[in-house]
Structure 1
């Protein structure tokens, strides 16, 4: 599940980089012929703190688009130079907040985003990162206030997409779709069109409307043919529709292009569903790479261990995650890990917390129902199938991501 939020955050960070360093409005005069790369500018003007901050943001974006966490240390180096030159500059602080969020250091991201806002209260970007980090920390009211401020400052793709996600987390699927449609209407760059269409597909997928989801994913690829999340979305639709060979072909292309842990999990579970062995070698290698790059993500590995490894290890990892980030996803991961470890009575309070916000996510309600059944109780949660008729408990990674 981390990756629904992580991908929402990653997409937001792509838009964040654009929002911080947006080009000026077009001039009536023809543009100058001279152009200069960031590296050339920094070689000429090594004291340009904003150029260092921009370089750091570009490295964060490279980490997102390539799936290579080695870009995070590069971003850290560029942002450290920017901070040494101008530690109180709002763009520098915003870049450092974005890096902290990318590494899942959400308390640090909140602190830095709030500092950026104290310097420049009109920074919609800093408010966006603040909203992302507060969401991960489980402070949904605080996140909503940050989103509202961002909308007031700069209504557009970054703010509408965050408002859509906030609405989804409180269980308002209608508003979530309406807000994402507003984001789509505001989009004009291919990357933004692909991103908003992809998330309209995700909203459709979560409601079980597989044909509508596939239509949006296809439109996303039309806007940006190399957009891997849309291809992953089409793989999910194929898997949930029972077209497993097609799904596996799509997943192979996806992981060849962008071997994110989430996609590797989905591919492995689809192979198991198809009666084939899952190979977790690359997934475990990615885990080491992310840890070496300073990316903290106990949640992904807790979910993996609960389903495909050691429930005892899953409990340890999920407890660590929940201690830092008390959101619904972390509560669900801890509940399921405890249940899989045979500790369903301990699990139930966390399952109740996971479903308390009203979020209509099928797997959260499925987990709670399974825990209640294990305790001999009638499930009190909403039926997962009523939320999403296409939900398949044998493909949990697909439900977590979407």
Structure 2
């Protein structure tokens, strides 16, 4: 048994089931904070909140919102601000809605709009504007600009250290910067101040990053069970499905992803998740269809890379190249909107393009925000560029618990094993390749078969001779 069970009560305190979203019956939003209000005199339950009110409650508490509701909220706030341009809080709400819309649709054009309106909110109310500061932190996280996110989130915390919504953007920023102890400390503070499905889901993400997969799965499951709004519940089901996928449970992952899409047809991450799970189950026609639908609705570079590698694994080189061209185009579009796509582009170039350019890009990324995912990608790019000794240093950071790499990720272990194989370190190479396939035997349609072939070439370890005594 590993160390997951030790100290679990310290890591994951009991979190109450109070829902913190506006769709929860009897909640209203005042100044960005949720408060309970009584039912009407009929006693028959509250009327359903209007779509704009539902989205308002979501974006002011940092939980997923339904896309149609977001569109209503954006229209309402834009109309209101034309008449009331000095309403700093409405500018902040509009900025948060733009960020969520850009994130959900993978349309980076929303990000510059979000930045403009959030900075307008700060101009209208320069002091004490924690809503705008939190919105700018969330925007920076969505752009993968974690140093900026940390700056804005820490400023928000200075203003409102007892406000639970201050802490999720701070946790994301610390994680992106590779500051995992600070992320855990912020989570502990969040658990002291808040409860409900949004807090449970945030805890699950941190537990996952620390390698505590059982705790993470329980947190995502509890979050989905206690969420009331379909879009929020679907988002937490998708996270649970991703966790199931990472541990190689194809059937459970597919169930989570399908349930998420049934609840919220706009849950595009779950559509891509279906593509992964179906491909692992050998249902390639369905997998290709799911990936195409995900890309049509949320054209993220990561999805194009995954679909391209699936085509390549099937021997469909021309179809793969179409997706790789799409990936490059989407990276350019995202970067024009201020988003940082160095990680996915670096991985792509390392495997399918120019490894030297991948090394240059990822070195700069590591200097700016040295997270575990960047360490893995830089190590792999260095390997593909023929610099294996230096590559192994970064691969160790990504996989060695003592160096921060606590997350259990099959791709990271595979990368380390392949680097060690080429360095003729057969024992460690065998161990890490076996670990990759033990974590998730289906982690990649392209790389998992290569891991099997490499293990076969390495063969069984040589038996050590017994000592002889005279």
- Give the TM-score, by structure 1 length: 0.89
Bigger CA radius of gyration: 2
How many residue pairs get matched?
Answer: 382
SS in 2 for 1:46: coil
Structure of greater relative contact order (alpha carbons < 8 Å, 6+ residues apart): 1
Which residue of the partner structure matches residue 362 of structure 1?
410
2:230 aligned with 1:177, yes or no? no
Residue 393 of structure 1, CA deviation? 6.0
Q: How does 1:338-377 map to 2 (within 5 A)?
A: 338-356=382-400, 357-377=405-425
Question: Using a 3 Å threshold, how does the CA distance of structure 1 residues 292 and 225 change in structure 2: closer, same or farther?
Answer: closer
Corresponding residue to 2:436 among 384, 387, 391: 384
SS in 2 for 1:372: helix
CA contact (8 A) 2:313 2:445 kept: no
Query: Over aligned residues, Cα RMSD in angstroms?
Result: 2.4
Q: Distance in 1 between matches of 2:303 and 2:34?
A: 34
CA contact (8 A) 1:136 1:327 kept: yes
The worse-fitting range, judged by mean Cα deviation, of 135-144 and 237-246 is 237-246
Corresponding residue to 1:123 among 163, 169, 173: 163
Residue 292 of structure 1, CA deviation? 1.1
Corresponding residue to 1:336 among 380, 391, 414: 380
CA contact (8 A) 1:270 1:395 kept: no
For structure 2, the 5+ residue unaligned runs are 1-19, 24-28, 41-45, 54-72, 449-470
Corresponding residue to 1:255 among 273, 289, 295: 295
Which residue of the partner structure matches residue 245 of structure 1?
285
Corresponding residue to 1:102 among 126, 139, 142: 142
Q: Distance in 1 between matches of 2:347 and 2:33?
A: 38
2:362 aligned with 1:318, yes or no? yes
CA contact (8 A) 1:128 1:158 kept: no
CA contact (8 A) 1:266 1:395 kept: no
Q: Distance in 2 between matches of 1:323 and 1:158?
A: 32
Residue 223 of structure 1, CA deviation? 1.4
CA contact (8 A) 1:334 1:347 kept: yes
CA contact (8 A) 1:17 1:58 kept: no
CA contact (8 A) 1:218 1:230 kept: yes
Residue 297 of structure 1, CA deviation? 2.3
Q: How does 1:1-400 map to 2 (within 5 A)?
A: 21=32, 24-29=35-40, 37-88=76-127, 89-276=129-316, 277=318, 278=320, 279=322, 280-356=324-400, 357-377=405-425, 378-379=427-428, 380-381=431-432, 383-392=435-444, 394=446
Q: Distance in 1 between matches of 2:21 and 2:423?
A: 46
Residue 123 of structure 1, CA deviation? 2.0
- Give the TM-score, by structure 2 length: 0.77
Q: Distance in 2 between matches of 1:80 and 1:45?
A: 16
